[in-house]
Structures are given as C-alpha cells and as structure tokens.
C-alpha cells in the first residue's frame, strides 16, 4: 500500500507531525529503528524496578497548543512542575532556588541585597524577551531573499512585532540576542554564585561557554516554555519523559496512524527528483507519497539520500551544519535519597535542579576543556532526582537520579570514545557529587554513563547534540538548517524535515513537528485544524 | 576668556577629522590634546634612548576617503608606502598579499577573501552613516532600508550566505573553507585583532568584515604613523583649527543643563557652544561630566559600556636587523585557530597566555630615522593580554614579556640576542598612557551588541548625548576605531546638521 506520508523516526517531533497529518485524514506510517518509540524522550527500564528518563529529563518547552490539539492528557500525559534547586558552593554553603519569585528574592538577599533588587528587573526583562519570541516558535520562518507574498507578509509581521516595542525594549532585545550571558548578567548582578546559577540555562545542550557571545539567546530558548501556563517553569513528565512520546503514540493510534518499530531506514527512495518512500535495513520498502524525516539534517541527507540527488551547494551547507555534541549523561539508580549536608533539613531544594558549579569562571573553564577536545575535568552537572516528586519511577524509598553533564566532546582528542574514556568520564562526575554529598557513592545501585557516542548510536543524534544542531544565529530562524530551506522543505520534492534541526530548534518542544505538518497540509491543500498559538502572557 | 564655537577634546585622528570638517564649514574650533603631541594612538614615541616606535597603532587600513579628500591630506603631505604583504611565520613561512598567496590553499583563500570583501563592500556604506534611532520613523530607516537593498543586490545566493555568515564565528568559516592551518590561523588572528573575543566566539567574523570595509590593504604612511597625525594637524590648522597640546581637560562645564565649555586641569576655562569629546565615552561621562548632570539610568548604563582590551603592545630596540623573510612585510605568528583560541582562554580569567599570538612590523625598515644606522625597531601587537591581571600588573607584564619573547625567538631565531631594550605595554598601561578605558583601542569593545545604534549607548548613538551641547566623536562611537577618522567625520556632519 502507499501511505500519504512516511515519517522517519518516532521521536517527539516525528510523532507530533504524524498525529497532525493523521488527524487531517492522511494515512501515515512512522518507521522507527529502535524497538521502542520516543527518540530522546523515553522512559527505559535499565535496572530492575527502575524507570530511567535516560536522555531528556525535564519538560517545559513542549508546546501547550500541541498538548491540547492532540489531547495528550487524555492519553496519559501529566507534567509535574518541580520546585526548588540549589547550587552548592566550594565552602560548604549553598544558594537555594524556589518556585516562588519572592522566596527566590529572599534567598538572593541572603547573598546580596543588591542582587535581590536586581532580580525583579531581570525577571521582568527576560519575560519580555520570552513574550516576543514565543509567537515565532509556531510560525514558519520567511525566506528573506524571496519576494513571494507569503515571505514578505511574514517579514512585515516580524517588523510589526518589533515596531510594537519601545526604543529601550528594542535595544535590549538586540543586545540580548547577541550578547554572552556572562556580560548580560554582569549588568544586573554582582554575586558570583547567583550569576552562576542564572547562567545555567544559557549553556545547557550547547557547545558555547557562558562567555561566548550568543549564549544569552540559548538561555531564552530554555525560558520560553511553561508548565500549566507558568512561563519559565519546568516539570517532570510523570513516569519519565517517555510518557510524552507514549501519549503521542496513543494519540496517533487513536487517529488511525501506524508505527513500525525495529524498522531502521536504509535509504529514501527518490525517483525523478521525487521522494516515494523508504527502504528499510531489512530490505522492505514502505511506499509513501511523501517522506518526512525526523532525523537531523546531516543524517537525513548525508546518510540516507544519494548525494547525486541533491544540489552541490545544499550538500556543502549540510556538511557544514554545526551539530556539536557537548554533553553527556549519567543515569543513576539510588538505594536511598542522597544527603547534602549544606542544605537545611527538609529543604525543598532537592526537588529541583542541583549544581556544583559556583562561578561562571568554572563553567567557562569546563568549556575550555571541551574546546581542547577533553571532557571537563571539573564538569558542570545539572542533577535532578525526579523521584522526589514522582514516585512511580522506582520502588518505594529508592530514587532515580539524572545527571546532565557538560562538557563532553563528540571525539576525545580527535579519536573515538573508548569504554575506558567513558568510565573515566562517569567517575569524574560521581566524584564531584560525592564531594558535596558524602556517602553518595555507597547509595549507587547502577549507573548508566552516556557519552556523545552512546547518544549517537542509540538515539541517532549526530555527534550526540541534543538540539540536532547548534543554536547560534547562523543556524536559527531562516538560516536553520540551511538558508533557503528553512520552510521544512528539502531540494527533493516530497521529502520534508520535521526534526529539531529545523526552526525553532531543539528541546522536547514539538514545534518543528507541528510547523512541518502545517506546511505539508498546506501543500496538500488539506484543512489545517491546528489551534492558534495562544499567548499565556 | 577666549571663545570658540566648538571645543574638541582629544587630538587623535577622530578629534582632528571632526575639527577639520567643522572648521572647513566656518566654525572656530579648538582641539585640546592632553599629550605633548597630537595624534593619540598614531603618535610616535622614543621608548629607549635613540629608538622611536609608533606609540600604539603601527599600521592602518587607510584614512577614510572622505577625510582624505575633505581635509586634502595628500596636499598636506600624507602618502603611503606600497601595501604591506603579510608573512605568516612558521616552519614553512607563507606569504599573503592580495591575490598572490603562496601555499596549497591559495585558491581557496583567495576565493574566501573575495567573498568576504564583497560582503565588506556592501557593509562599507554603513560606516559613513549616522546610525538611525530605533524608534524614529521615516527618513532614517529609509536610509537603512536602501543600504539593506544594496545587500540584497548581492544576488539571492550571496544574500542568503551573507545572512548566514553575518554573526558566525571565524573559526567555523576557516574550518569550512580552508585546509591549511597557517591560513586558518591567520584568518582567526585577523578577525580577533583588537577584540576581546576568541575565534570560536560567535560574532567574530563581522569584525573581519569591518576591517575589510575600512580598506583591503594594510598600509604604513610615508614618514611613519606620526606623519599621518602630523598631516592631519597641518590640514586642520590650515582650515583654521587651533590645536593645543598639553591641555588636559578636567571637566565639562554645564550651565542651565547645557554643555557650555571646559575647564582645563591648569584651571583655565574655555567657553564654546558645543563641546565635542573624541575621547572615551566612559571617561567623558564618568569623569568630565559626572553623575550630577546625567540621568541615573543613563549613567549606570555608561558604567556598563564594556571596554576590555585584549592586546598588548611590544616595542623592541634591536641592534641589528631581525632574521625575517621580508623586513617590509607584516609578520604574523598565529600557527592555528586552536593556538589563537588558547591564547585567549586565560585572558578570560585574568591570566597570561603561555603562547601568545602576534603581528609585528619593523617600522625602522620604512623610516631610517627611527633608530641609528644598522639598528632597528620592532613593533608588535601581542594577543591576548589580560586587562585586569589577577597576579597584579607588574608580575603579569613580566610574564607576558617573557612568553612573548619566547614565542618570537622560536619563530625568529636569534632575535633575543639583538634586543637592546624591550618595552611591553599591557592594556592597563595603554589605558594610563592613552586614556583608552580598559586598554581597549576602540574606546569600548567593538562587539555586535555595541555596534551601530547601540554604540556606545542607544541614547548617544547619533553622536549627540543626553546633555545638550555635548557630542561624541571618538572611536567609542559608530563605526569604531582604527586610525581612519570615520567616527570624527560622521560626528562633525551631525553637529553641522544641527
């Protein structure tokens, strides 16, 4: 049979696109190489009785419009907002974070009264940048080089949005989009720990340091999401991050879509410049009128499409697309809750993100190691214990801990990662935690260490980059992934892109999948029943 | 009390260009220079008995054509030696000159530079523009839109490429387009020259485009850099400008919320309708005006103008000619992108790099009178140097000098044996000597978030300031520094317009 659409990869974006197309009446088939769905939003059972969110580990960016359109709560998705967080400092102290703005303010005042004052202004300013960018997420970027009415209308829309701002707001916006987070925070704050905590979101997932220009934008990328309308808040998916993709899979089934697991794609069938389906690695063919790839742009076009089917310029640009792996991950099963002596008893901070990097300088030095081709000797870790809030993931009293680690280069000193490298990397991270939580290592039942090598092999993310491509301006908006191809189309007719390599980029957001589906439906002249992007702000 | 229609503070190239343009239109202008000679970064100095070196800048990409013609600088004696070739010092040295690059990558490098020069060409008109105010309607944005159309006229493919590359980092461009480490290193070095950025930092390529927009060639004036300043002084004086040296300004005088003159450190008072500051915007507002006459929010933002200098200046007095392939070339020691990046890393933490990268020229090879017969002067810009060294200035300077000489010796064997005297200016020394805050030679970092309508601050980006009667005309304003007089010329245009 010939499907209306074959989607390569059952990651969240592939599933979102599939759901929208199926709901519009298309016959869709999602082919997935792994025996499970989810891509990098998965819950895996890698140790008896424990569920791991072993890739992505928190949720905020997932677009509420998609959740509503696809009825994900009905299909079992629940996001539990988390509270708190802490940075442990060298001298045995800590900076706590809370869900409540005023509580944060009081905690800041404990370190610096000046910074507590500045925090109000800072929060307001960052919220304003979020307000500007959020409506852009669900729109297909224009091609500024085109004179087509749609592109011009889109540019005018952008211009209008800019025009709504005051001079000061516009200036702040331009600065914020191009500055380093370190310089940006220096204009508000003075205390190194407060700056270190606030800089965290600017480096997660990216191969930039906090002192790299453009890193402030990455911060925004992590702030523009929400949990239940609470902008900037983050939460856990109950039952692990796989719950998001499980709910999507159920929504897809309800809409009549099909998923084939264990079906890795060998190549995209292209005849007369038109994509007609895929060949699986077992030789089977899945035919379709169009093919939509949820894989990153490099993998799609350099591995699964014959180079002679593509224009030379396009291939050159895809080859030069920067997908830089910068992070690793430790997934840990714990026999009991870790104890951090710096925290007062009963403090809620363990329910949030924990960090051991108490200055921007330490973060930047960790990045310098990455640039030189090593993993960081004193790494930055974003540690979460989702079981503090969600007890469904482990047996009673036990805990699952997720440690997101930066920086880990895709290659070590130019060579592939070996198992010994991986173990040394894992040990470095465990030692760092032990330093702030004595006895921690004795609680460990099982550790899964993931370097960019494992991420690429299992999830298929080239170089292990969690965003399917760096979030720098040369790869954002109309430049993402390739100038002239930012509208989810590719040079091959009927071959589309819907992964995080496309606008607006990575994170468990679903926006690329939805935007791609919108373009596919528009071209197929099918009705688009997507709800409008709504403004919480 | 003598009275002028305009006072220009600072006798550097921008101050002189501004004064020259105003005087040509009939203003009575006085230029007040704190130093003993005008020229600022383009002056000459005896750094060791019998040895003279360019005070700071040792080459230029040419004076702004408008300044050149408007002040008739050629008639006042300004000429240039033939453009300098660049020689990349390495085990196998490489020579780079427009279209005549040696090495396997020559064609790729030429193609890349041609593409970047094309981008620079469409950006060049922005340099002569008074940046529009962000909210102003009509005319000013119209000007900008026209220039934007000029960019679109590159053609569809190049326009897309332009938008992709405008904020990219230079390291990626080097990796994508070149294979020869020596050329990659050169590109990385050139883009980050004078910046507080490593080649891997996003937004680094635009700095190279800006340099190319100033002019394709690297030039040394006939008679040395000081001759450039001298020609400008002569031209300004011919137009009726009074240039006063040793006249440091202590403060700007304000009456009825208007700048009305200045008081010199000697106590002397000069009155004028307009006061134009060609020195650092931070110094202007923080020291000369002070918080009493400025809005608190504005004043606070002034303090946040980032002005970190990352370059040190080295002067060597040599007893004989150094062993280099071409005494009249610009020598660059920057073996690879990684070495440039690693030279920047420690500076972020206030430390001194083990292996700095640098460019040097031998000014005495152009002008014999800079050193006695057979002797030579070497002038180098060494990157990167911490602007606020943790170890203290003295220790950092000593370490920086040692590391620099070691790198030089490794590339120019026998050089250390020729050194009769060495002088290294750290960014702090440059600040003390030339008034450049943080030692940044653009009087404020030339970075995307401090460019165009954000330079130095949005309220003062059109050369006027929130204090009526006070204007900015220095490198701290659009389009930044580089011994070309563009900022001063633009500022004069704005003053005349008003």
Residue A151 lies in a domain: yes
Question: What is the tens place of the pLDDT at every residue in A472-493?
Answer: 999 999 999 999 999 999 999 9
- For B33-121, strand residue ranges (E) read 44-48, 51-54, 86-88, 94-96
The pLDDT of residue B99: 67
CATH number for the domain that contains residue A65: 3.50.50.60
Last residue of one domain, picked from the residues A233, A265, A295: A233
Q: Is 60 exceeded by the pLDDT of residue A383?
A: yes
Mutate to test the interface with A, among B136, B303, B348 (most CBs of A within 10 A): B348
Quote the percentage of chain A above a pLDDT of 90.
87
Q: For the residues A488-510, what does the mean pLDDT come to?
A: 96
| Residue B56 near residue B313, CB atoms below 8 Å | yes
Closest-CA distance, B42 to chain A, in angstroms, reads: 30
Contact A472 B164 (CB under 8 A): no
Q: Are residues A184 and A251 in the same domain?
A: no
Where do the DSSP E strands lie in B80-202? 86-88, 94-96
Q: Rounded to a whole number, what is the distance in Å from the CA of A448 to chain B's nearest CA?
A: 32
Q: What are phi and psi of A276, to 5 degrees?
A: -125, 10
Residue of B119, B196, B201, B202 best to disrupt the A interface, most CBs of A under 10 A: B202
- Nearest Cα of chain A lies from the Cα of B200 at a distance, in angstroms, of 8
Distance CA A292, CA B355 (A): 50
Domain ranges of chain B: 3-42+64-79+222-306+440-497, 100-214
The fourth-level CATH superfamily of domain B3-42+64-79+222-306+440-497 is FAD/NAD(P)-binding domain (3.50.50.60)
Residue A454 lies in a domain: no
Does A287 contact chain B (CB < 8 Å)? no
Q: Are residues A117 and A228 in the same domain?
A: yes
* DSSP tag of A343: S
Judge whether B473 and B8 are in contact, CB under 8 Å.
yes
Q: Are residues A215 and A118 in the same domain?
A: yes
Residue ranges making up the domain that contains A153: 113-233
The pTM score is 0.96
Angle between helices B106-127 and B205-214 (to 10 degrees): 70
* Secondary structure element (H or E) that encloses residue A265, with its range: strand A265-271
- Cβ-based contacts of A211 with chain B (< 8 Å): 201, 348
Inter-chain residue contact B163 with A478, CB threshold 8 Å: yes
Do A128 and A225 lie in one domain? The reply is yes
Residue A102 has pLDDT above 70, yes or no: yes
φ and ψ at residue A158, rounded to 5 degrees: -60, -45
**Angle in degrees, CA A382, A387, A392, rounded to 5:** 140
Residues A288, A229 within the same domain: no
Q: What angle do CA A514, A477, A224 make, to 5 degrees?
A: 65
The residue among A233, A248, A264 that closes a domain is A233
Cα nearest neighbour of B198 on chain A: A212
- Amino acid A135: pLDDT: 86
| DSSP per-residue letters across A12-23 | HHHHHHHHHHHH
Contact A486, A143 (CB under 8 A): yes
Measured CB to CB, residues of chain B less than 8 Å from chain A are 133-135, 152, 156-157, 159-161, 163-169, 172, 176, 197, 200-203, 304, 306, 338, 341-342, 345, 348-349, 447-449, 453-454, 458
* Three-state SS at B261: strand
Residue that finishes a domain, picked among A233, A267, A296: A233
Could you say which DSSP state residue B74 is in? Answer: T
Question: Distance (Å) from the C-alpha of residue B323 to the closest C-alpha of chain A?
Answer: 33
Task: Give how far A164 is from chain B: nearest CA, Å.
Answer: 10
The count of C-alpha atoms lying within 13 angstroms of the C-alpha of A41, restricted to the half-sphere facing its C-beta, is: 34
For residue B163, give the nearest of A144, A175, A214 by CB distance: A144
- Alpha-carbon gap: B448 to the closest alpha carbon of chain A (Å): 7
Do A203 and A251 share a domain, yes or no? no
ipTM value, please give it.
Answer: 0.95
Report helix, strand or coil for B38: coil
Q: What is the pLDDT of residue B148?
A: 86
Judged by CB atoms closer than 8 Å, whether chains meet at A213 and B458 is answered as no
Average pLDDT score over residue span A386-415: 96
Average pLDDT of the segment spanning A369-395: 97
Say how far apart CA B261 and CA B252 lie, in whole Å. 6
In a domain, A177, yes or no: yes
Q: For chain B, what is the radius of gyration of the CA atoms?
A: 22
Q: For residue B64, give every residue at least 6 positions away whose Cβ sits within 8 Å of its Cβ, in sequence order, or none.
A: B17, B127, B128, B214, B484, B485, B486, B489
Question: Is some CB atom of chain B closer than 8 A to the CB atom of A294?
Answer: no
CB–CB contact A168 B345 (8 Å): no
C-alpha span between B122 and A245 (Å, rounded): 48
| CB < 8 Å to A168, chain B | 458
Residue A157 in domain: yes
The alpha-carbon gap from A535 to the nearest alpha carbon of chain B, in Å, equals 25
Determine the Cα–Cα distance for residues A313 and A444; give it in Å rounded to an integer: 51
A537: confidence class by pLDDT, cuts 50, 70, 90: very low
The CB density around residue A100, as the number of other CB atoms within 10 Å, is: 11
| Contact of B476 with B455, CB cutoff 8 Å | yes
A327 occurs within a structural domain: no
Residues in chain A closer than 8 A to B201 (CB atoms): 180, 211-213
Instruction: Please give the pLDDT value at position B135.
Output: 72
Q: Tell how strand B470-472 and strand B269-277 pair up.
A: parallel
> CB distance from A145 to chain B under 8 Å?
yes
pLDDT of residue A531: 85
Query: Same domain for A149 and A261?
Result: no
Does a structural domain hold residue A338? no
Residues A66 and A163 grouped into a single domain: no
Question: Of chain A residues 42-101, which have a CB less than 8 A from chain B?
Answer: none
A244 and A229, same structural domain? no
Number of structural domains (chain A) is 2
Q: Which residue of A has its CA nearest to B306?
A: A183
Place of tokens 């650092």: B280
Token pair recorded at residue B378: 């070497």
For CA atoms A409, A411, A414, A419, give the dihedral sign: positive
Q: Let me know: does A29 contact A258? Beta carbons within 8 Å.
A: yes
On whether both A127 and A190 belong to a single domain, the answer is yes
Per-residue pLDDT tens digits of chain B, which is 498 residues long: 557 999 999 999 999 999 999 999 999 999 999 999 998 888 889 999 999 999 999 999 999 999 999 999 999 999 999 999 999 999 888 999 876 888 889 999 999 999 999 999 999 999 999 998 877 665 677 777 888 889 999 999 999 999 999 999 999 999 999 999 999 999 999 999 999 999 999 999 999 999 999 999 999 999 999 999 999 999 999 999 999 999 999 999 999 999 999 999 999 999 999 999 999 999 999 999 999 999 999 999 999 999 999 999 999 999 999 999 999 999 999 999 999 999 999 999 999 999 999 999 999 999 999 999 999 999 999 999 999 999 999 999 999 999 999 999 999 999 999 999 999 999 999 999 999 999 999 999 999 999 999 999 999 999 999 999 999 999 999 999 999 999 999 999 999 998
DSSP secondary structure letter of residue B480: -
DSSP three-state, residue A86: strand
Q: What integer pLDDT is reported at residue B138 of this predicted model?
A: 58
Half-sphere exposure in the Cβ direction for A91 (13 Å, CA):
4
- pLDDT given for residue A532 in this prediction: 80
Residues A222 and A311 in one domain: no
- Least trusted range by pLDDT, from A127-136, A513-522, B413-422: A127-136
Nearest CA in chain A to B154: A145
Out of A166, A171, A187, name the one closest to residue B454 (CB).
Answer: A171
Residue A265 and residue A201 in one domain: no
Rounded to a whole number of angstroms, the distance from the CA of A516 to the nearest CA of chain B is: 21
DSSP SS3 for A81: strand
A3-50: per-residue pLDDT in tens?
999 999 999 999 999 999 999 999 999 999 999 999 999 999 999 999
- Let me know if residue A348 belongs to a domain: no
Contact A187 B458 (CB under 8 A): no
Answer yes or no: is A146 within a domain.
yes
The pLDDT confidence band at residue A534, using thresholds 50, 70 and 90, is low
């Amino acid at each position: 049979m010939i499907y209306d659409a074959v989607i390569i990869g059952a990651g969240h974006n592939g599933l979102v696109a599939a759901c929208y197309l199926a709901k519009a009446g298309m016959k869709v088939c999602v082919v997935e190489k792994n025996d499970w769905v989810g891509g990098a939003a998965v819950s895996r059972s890698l140790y008896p009785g424990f569920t791991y969110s072993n890739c992505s580990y928190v949720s905020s960016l997932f677009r509420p419009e998609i959740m509503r359109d696809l009825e994900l709560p009905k299909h079992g998705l629940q996001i539990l907002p988390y509270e708190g967080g802490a940075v442990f400092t060298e001298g045995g102290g800590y900076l706590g974070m809370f869900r409540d703005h005023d509580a944060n303010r009081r905690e800041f005042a404990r370190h610096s009264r000046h910074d507590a004052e500045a925090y109000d202004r800072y929060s307001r300013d960052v919220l304003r940048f979020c307000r500007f960018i959020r409506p852009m997420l669900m729109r297909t970027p224009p091609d500024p080089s085109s004179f087509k009415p749609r592109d011009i209308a889109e540019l005018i829309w952008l211009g209008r949005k800019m025009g709504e701002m005051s001079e000061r707001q516009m200036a702040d916006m331009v600065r914020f989009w191009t500055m380093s987070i370190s310089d940006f925070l220096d204009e508000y704050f003075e205390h190194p720990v407060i700056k270190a905590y606030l800089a965290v979101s600017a480096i997660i997932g990216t191969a930039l340091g906090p002192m790299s220009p453009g890193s402030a934008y990455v911060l925004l990328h992590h702030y523009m999401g929400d949990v239940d309308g609470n902008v900037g808040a983050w939460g856990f998916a109950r039952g692990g991050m796989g719950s998001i993709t499980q709910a999507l899979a159920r929504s897809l089934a309800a809409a009549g879509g099909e998923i084939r697991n264990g079906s890795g794609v060998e190549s995209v069938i292209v005849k007369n410049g038109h994509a007609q389906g895929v060949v699986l690695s077992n030789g089977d063919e899945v035919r379709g009128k169009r093919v939509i790839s949820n894989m990153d742009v490099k993998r799609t076009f350099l591995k699964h499409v014959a180079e002679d089917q593509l224009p030379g310029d396009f291939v050159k640009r895809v080859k030069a697309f920067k997908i830089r792996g910068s992070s690793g991950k430790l997934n840990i099963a714990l026999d009991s809750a870790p104890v951090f002596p710096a925290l007062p008893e009963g403090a809620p901070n363990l329910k949030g993100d924990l960090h051991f990097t108490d200055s921007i300088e330490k973060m930047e030095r960790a990045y310098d190691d990455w640039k030189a081709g090593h993993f960081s000797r004193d790494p930055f870790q974003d540690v979460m214990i989702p079981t503090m809030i969600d007890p469904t993931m482990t047996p009673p009293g036990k805990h699952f801990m997720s440690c997101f680690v930066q920086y880990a280069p895709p290659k070590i000193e130019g060579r592939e990662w070996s198992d010994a490298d991986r173990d040394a990397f894992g040990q470095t991270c465990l030692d760092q935690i032990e330093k702030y939580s004595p006895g921690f290592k004795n609680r460990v039942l099982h550790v899964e260490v993931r370097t960019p090598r494992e991420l690429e092999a299992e999830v298929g993310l080239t170089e292990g980059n969690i965003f399917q491509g760096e979030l720098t301006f040369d790869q954002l908006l109309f430049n993402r992934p390739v100038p002239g191809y930012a509208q989810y189309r590719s040079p091959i007719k009927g071959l589309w892109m819907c992964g995080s390599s496309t606008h607006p980029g990575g994170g468990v957001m679903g926006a690329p999948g939805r935007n791609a589906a919108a373009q596919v439906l528009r071209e197929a002249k099918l009705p688009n029943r997507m709800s409008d992007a709504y403004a919480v702000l | 009390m003598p009275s002028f229609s305009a006072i220009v503070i600072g006798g550097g190239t921008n101050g002189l260009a501004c004064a020259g343009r105003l005087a040509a239109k009939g203003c009575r202008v006085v230029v007040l220079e704190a130093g003993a000679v005008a020229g600022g970064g383009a002056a000459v100095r005896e750094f060791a008995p019998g040895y003279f070196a360019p005070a700071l800048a040792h080459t230029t990409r040419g004076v702004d054509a408008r300044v050149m013609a408007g002040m008739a600088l050629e008639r006042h004696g300004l000429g240039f030696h033939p453009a300098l070739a660049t020689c990349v010092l390495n085990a196998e040295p490489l020579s780079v000159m427009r279209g005549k690059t040696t090495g396997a990558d020559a064609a790729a490098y030429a193609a890349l530079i041609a593409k970047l020069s094309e981008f620079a060409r469409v950006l060049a008109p922005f340099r002569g523009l008074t940046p529009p105010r962000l909210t102003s309607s009509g005319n000013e944005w119209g000007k900008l839109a026209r220039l934007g159309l000029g960019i679109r006229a590159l053609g569809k493919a190049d326009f897309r490429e332009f938008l992709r590359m405008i904020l990219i980092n230079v390291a990626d461009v080097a990796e994508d387009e070149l294979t020869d480490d020596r050329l990659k290193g050169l590109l990385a070095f050139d883009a980050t020259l004078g910046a507080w950025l490593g080649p891997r930092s996003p937004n680094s390529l635009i700095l190279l485009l800006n340099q190319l927009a100033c002019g394709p060639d690297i030039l040394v004036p006939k008679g040395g850099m000081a001759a450039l300043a001298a020609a400008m002084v002569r031209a300004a004086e011919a137009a009726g400008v009074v240039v006063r040296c040793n006249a440091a300004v202590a403060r700007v005088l304000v009456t009825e919320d208007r700048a009305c003159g200045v008081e010199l450190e000697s106590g002397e008072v000069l009155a004028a309708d307009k006061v134009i500051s060609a020195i650092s915007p931070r110094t202007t507002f923080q020291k000369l005006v002070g918080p009493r006459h400025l809005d608190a929010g504005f004043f606070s933002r002034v303090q946040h103008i980032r002005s970190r200098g990352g370059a040190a200046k080295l002067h060597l007095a040599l007893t004989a000619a150094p062993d280099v392939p071409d005494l009249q070339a610009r020598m660059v020691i920057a073996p690879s992108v990684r070495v440039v990046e690693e030279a920047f890393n420690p500076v972020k933490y206030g430390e001194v790099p083990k292996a700095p990268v640098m460019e040097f020229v031998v000014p005495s090879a152009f002008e014999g009178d800079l050193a006695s017969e057979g002797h030579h002067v070497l002038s180098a810009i060494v990157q990167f140097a911490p602007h606020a060294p943790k170890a203290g200035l003295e220790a950092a300077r000593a370490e920086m000098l040692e590391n620099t000489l070691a790198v030089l010796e490794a590339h120019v064997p026998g050089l250390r044996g020729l050194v009769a005297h060495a002088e290294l200016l750290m960014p702090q020394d440059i600040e003390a000597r030339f008034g450049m805050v943080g030692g940044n030679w653009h009087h404020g970092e030339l970075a995307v978030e401090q460019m165009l309508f954000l330079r130095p601050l949005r309220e003062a980006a059109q050369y006027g300031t929130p204090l009526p009667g006070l204007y900015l005309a220095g490198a701290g304003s659009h389009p930044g520094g580089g011994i070309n007089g563009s900022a001063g010329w633009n500022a004069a245009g704005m003053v005349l317009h008003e």
